[in-house]
Amino acid sequence: MNKSDSGRRVRTTLIAYLFLAPALGLLAVFTFYPVIFGTILSLFEYDIINPPRYVGLSQFQRLLVDRYFWIAIANSAKYVLVVPVIQLGSILLAVLVNRQLRGIKAFRAAYYIPVITSWPVVGIMWTWMYDQQGIINYMLQSLQAIDRPISWLSHPTLTLYAIMFVTMWKGLGWYMVIYLAGLQSIPAEYEEAAMVDGASRARVFWNVTVPLLRPYILLASLVSTMAALKVFEEIYVMTRGGPFFSTYTMFMYIFDEAFQELNMGYASALAVVLAAVILVFSVINFRVFRRGGLEYY
C-alpha cells in the first residue's frame, strides 16, 4: 500500500466518524447511558434533590410485597388480550382494502387517520363518546343491547376493556398498512389456484393467505405485544389508572413513582422489571428479523 492510499484511508475514517459523531453522541447520552444508569439506579434511593443512597436489592424486595405492583403487572398482562383482536382485525381490513376499486385509496386513508391523531385528542374524543349520556350508550340502548347507560370509564371491570377498544381503534390502520405490504408481496396465483380448486373464500383466507402472511403476523404480533405490555398513553389520557386502580398498568405506576413521587430508585426498579419482560420479546423479534423490525410509528 503506498502513502497516498493509507492517507486516504485515514481521511475516510476521520470523515466517517465526523459524520457519525452527533448521532452517536446523542444515542450514547439519551439511549445507552439510561439503560446502564437506570439499572444501577434501581439499587439506590434517589429523589434528585438529595444524593442517592445505596439500598442494595431492597427495592426489589419491596416490590414483591407491593400490592400496586401486582395490580399493575396483572393489568399490563391482561392488556395483551388486545393483540389477537388487533391482528385479526387488521388482517381482515388489509384483505378488504387489497383490491383495485374506485376510491379504495380514500378508504385506506380514512382508516389511517386515527393512527396519526395524537393521544390527547383521542382521549378527549373517546371520553365524550364513553360518557354516561354519550353516544355509545345511546346507540347500545337503541339497539336494546343494554337496559341502562354504562359508565364505561368508571366501571371497576369494564373500563380496561373500554380502553383496549380505543387502542384497537387507533392501531388498526397502522397494522393494516403492514399487512397490506405483506399481501401485495404474495403472488395472486396462490389464492387464484385455490379458488379454481373450489376452496371457499374463508378456506382460502385461513389456509392460503394467513400462512403466507406468517412472517408479517409474527412481526406485528411481537410489536403489538410489546406495546401492550408498555401501555400508557391511552390510560393516561382517559383514566390515569382509575377507577380504584382497575386500569393501573406498569408504565402508569412507573410514571407516578418517577414524576409524581420523585422515587427515582423505586421507579427504576419497576422499569427494570418491565424491561426484563419486554426484552424477551425484543430478543425474539431481533433474532427473527435481524434488523430489529419496527419503530413505534
User: Which window, 69-77, 156-164, 206-214, 227-235, contacts other proteins (CB under 8 A)?
Assistant: 227-235
> Of 77, 85, 158, 294, which one interacts with other proteins (CB under 8 A)?
294
The H or E element that residue 68 is part of is: helix 67-79
Count other Cβ atoms within 10 Å, centred on residue 133. Answer: 8
100-113 burial, b at 16+ Cβ within 10 Å, e below that, comes to: eeeeeeeebeebee
Least gap, CB of 270 to other proteins (angstroms): 9
Residue 185 has phi, psi (to 5 degrees) of -90, -5
**Interface with other proteins in residues 63-102 (CB under 8 A):** 93, 96-97, 99, 101
115/110 Cα distance (integer angstroms): 10
Task: Label residue 199 left, alpha or beta by phi (over 0 means left) and psi (-120 to 50 means alpha).
Answer: beta
Is 272 an interacting residue with respect to other proteins (CB under 8 A)?
A: yes
User: Which window, 55-63, 106-114, 191-199, 205-213, contacts other proteins (CB under 8 A)?
Assistant: 106-114
Is 140 an interacting residue with respect to other proteins (CB under 8 A)?
A: no
Least Cα distance to 209 among 234, 189, 228 occurs for: 189
Q: What own/partner pairs with CB < 8 Å and gap ≥ 24 does 193-198 have?
A: none
Nearer to other proteins, 17 or 206 (CB): 17
**Interface with other proteins in residues 46-65 (CB under 8 A):** 48
102/23 Cα distance (integer angstroms): 44
> Of 63, 237, 241, 248, which one interacts with other proteins (CB under 8 A)?
237
User: Which window, 128-136, 150-158, 191-199, 205-213, contacts other proteins (CB under 8 A)?
Assistant: 128-136
Name the one residue in this structure whose C-alpha cell is 380504584: 244
Least gap, CB of 269 to other proteins (angstroms): 11
Which amino acid is located at 145 in the chain? A
Q: What is the torsion angle, in degrees rounded to the nearest 10, for the CA atoms of residue 105, residue 112, residue 168 and residue 73?
A: 140
**Interface with other proteins in residues 3-22 (CB under 8 A):** 9, 11-13, 15-17, 19-20, 22
DSSP 4-44: HHHHHHHHHHHHHHHHHHHHHHHHIIIIIHHHHHHHHHTTE
> Of 43, 86, 94, 122, which one interacts with other proteins (CB under 8 A)?
122
Is 1 an interacting residue with respect to other proteins (CB under 8 A)?
A: no
User: Which window, 65-73, 115-123, 192-200, 202-210, contacts other proteins (CB under 8 A)?
Assistant: 115-123
Is 112 an interacting residue with respect to other proteins (CB under 8 A)?
A: yes
Nearer to other proteins, 15 or 74 (CB): 15
> Of 141, 151, 154, 246, which one interacts with other proteins (CB under 8 A)?
141
Helices (H) and strands (E) in the chain, counts: 16, 2
Least Cα distance to 221 among 297, 286, 285, 168 occurs for: 285
> Of 129, 195, 199, 210, which one interacts with other proteins (CB under 8 A)?
129
Is 44 an interacting residue with respect to other proteins (CB under 8 A)?
A: no
Is 269 an interacting residue with respect to other proteins (CB under 8 A)?
A: no
